[in-house]
Structure 1
Amino acid sequence: MKEERIVVPANGYLMLLLFLVLFFGGIVAIVLTQTGWPVFAIVASLILMFGFVMVQPNNSRVLLLFGKYVGTIKKNGFYWVNPFYTKKKISLRASNFDSERLKVNDKLGNPIMISTILVWRVTNTYKAAFDVDNFENFVRVQTDAAVRKLASMYPYDNFADEGHDEDITLRSSVNEVSEALEKEIEERLLIAGIEVLEARIGYLAYAQEIANAMLKRQQATAIVAARHKIVEGAVSMVEMALEELSKKDIVELDEERKAAMVSNLMVVLCSDKDASPIVNAGTLNH
């Protein structure tokens, strides 16, 4: 048998009543009859006692008879089974696993620190009990392996200036990365009969040796992007100013004065500090 088998054992309360009748009845019989045969009833009741099993909600008991798999009890309650059964407890509750922070290389070769948060539960008790040695340790090891593989598939961030224009990155594509991670872990844990309920990145950062350099790079990228927007807006404003002056015939400018005006406006609009105006009280030529 290589698949899970659900069994429904005998009612534990009826067997408890039988146990009490045999045990106390045997004691009373010994006292009243002064013979030894009621001892067998007491011994039988003691053997019956080893067959009682209690299953709490979202728990299970895997039953073995001299090394042979008999079945699994998943329904909660108080039961009685063969006293010679070996009863192994396996929890069916959802469990959290927060992996250690691993130092790995992303797709571009940058060292990063990454960890994952995994929510999982056992769905097939046969596979969890017999197809792997220790299913809880199996979850930890396979999760770490999946995280290492995932980190090598995507870059930490998008660096379009170096020709690495990726659609999915570890930092910005949270949903896509989580789905890929969940699928990767689920494929690895399928052999142990474990269902992955949720998997997501719990911690993500550059490794310490390159963290400062990458921070400066991100700041420089942000400054360049801001400057690009400022220049783009300044050019539009200068173009609008020249068009309005020409349309309304406020002043007639030759090419040299247009160039000077453009230069002054660009300096004013693109400067980091407020410009200090100089008032020309003379003519345009002085």
Structure 2
Amino acid sequence: MTDKKLKSLSGYWMIIIQAALFAGAAYVLSLPNLGAVAMLIFFIDLVLIRGYFTAQNGESVLVSLMGKYKGTVINSGFYWTHPFRKIQRLNQKDHINHIGPWNTFAKDGVELEMSVEIRWRVEDAAKVFYELSDPQESAQSIAKETAQTLIEMYPYENNGTERVSLRLHSSTINSAYATALKKKFLEAGIVLESARFNGIRSLKKKHNPEEALTLAQQLVNDIHELKPLSDKEKSNMQVQLISLLMTEKI
């Protein structure tokens, strides 16, 4: 379902028409034996009051009658339509969402923490309202899914066999993300204003005791080759390195 423009009568013109009906009902009431007709006109005039509505800047007003979509009013103003219609309002101003952080894995198996920022607005109000249960939630879900798929296509480090890596080519990654997300958003009736990764950070796991001991010994030996150390200095440095390797993500 897509937007179709609804031709609604100006509310100001309808006020004039209702005033004329009211005057006519008053005149009929003054005539003999026409009191019932006058009261019917009065009643109809009162029912017609329900048809007035306003549309504000930055919103779309969707009008339906008996459960069927009739059209959308986009321009701001004061309108009148069928008194038994139902209206739904949808904000068309820009939305900015910060999504994440969440953990995932790059193509080369590196665990990452990532987050994205998107700026979007509703373009096709009918499509968004009738096909998306919650526009905000749906937009964020699509953005996260697209980011997840893209990240899994690239390695984090440039190992020589890949032309693009997540760590070294952020502008290329952001451009690819915006292009892919823009296409998906258009299918949902949404226009993407901007999209980018706020951060892509490597999460290296803490070392277990065996790994920490081996790595600490290697580091101490490397340092000893550059600058001779006493046994006490080696021991102290090894303890510090083991503690650091087991508690910090390095």
Q: CA deviation at 1:68?
A: 1.6
Instruction: Give a deviation string over 1:145-197, Cα, whole Å, max 9, x none.
Output: 11111111122333xxxx44533222332221112111222232233211111
Corresponding residue of 2:47: 47
Measure, in 2, the Cα distance between the counterparts of 1:126 and 1:188: 17
In 1: Cα distance, 2:23 partner to 2:171 partner: 64
Quick one: which amino acid aligns to residue 13 of structure 2?
L
Counterpart CA distance in 2 for 1:208 and 1:41 is 79
Alignment correspondent of 1:67: 67
Conserved 8 A contact 1:10-1:81: yes
The SS at the match of 1:57 is coil
Q: Which residue of 1 aligns with 2:126?
A: 126
C-alpha change, 1:205 and 1:25, in structure 2 (3 Å) is: farther
SS in 2 for 1:101: strand
Of 177, 190, 193 in structure 2, the residue corresponding to residue 194 of structure 1 is 190
Task: After TM superposition, list the pairs within 5 Å mapping 1:211-230 onto structure 2.
Answer: none
What is the distance in 2 between the residues matched to 1:114 and 1:189? 21
* 1:13/1:155 CA distance change after superposition, 3 Å: same
TM-superposed CA distance for 1:77, in Å, is 1.0
Which residues of structure 2 form unaligned runs of 5+? 208-225, 228-250
Q: 1:15 is matched with which residue?
A: 14
Q: In structure 2, the residue corresponding to 1:209 is in which secondary structure?
A: coil
Asked whether the 8 Å contact 1:7–1:73 carries over to 2, the reply is: yes
Instruction: Report the 3-state secondary structure (helix = DSSP H, G, I; strand = E; otherwise coil) of the residue aligned with 1:89.
Output: strand
> 2:179 is matched by which residue type in structure 1?
K
Structure 1 position 105, deviation (Å): 0.3
**How many Å separate the matches in 1 of 2:13 and 2:171?**
53
TM-score (norm 1): 0.63
Deviations 1:121-152 (A, max 9, x none): 11112211223333322111111111111111
- Answer with 1 or 2: which has the greater Rg: 1
CA RMSD across the alignment: 3.0
Letter in 1 for 2:74: K
Q: Deviation at 1:6? A: 1.2
CA distance 1:165–1:14, change in 2 (3 Å): same
Cα offset, 1:55, TM superposition? 0.9
Q: TM-score, normalised by structure 2?
A: 0.71
The count of corresponding residues between Structure 1 and Structure 2 is 208
> Partners in 1 of 2:187 and 2:177 — Cα distance?
17
Matches within 5 A, 1:1-286: 2-19=1-18, 22=21, 35=35, 37-158=37-158, 163-207=159-203, 209=205
As a proportion of its length, which structure holds more strand?
2
Q: Which stretch of the first structure deviates more once superposed, 44-53 or 139-148?
A: 44-53
Higher relative contact order (CA 8 A, sep 6+): 2
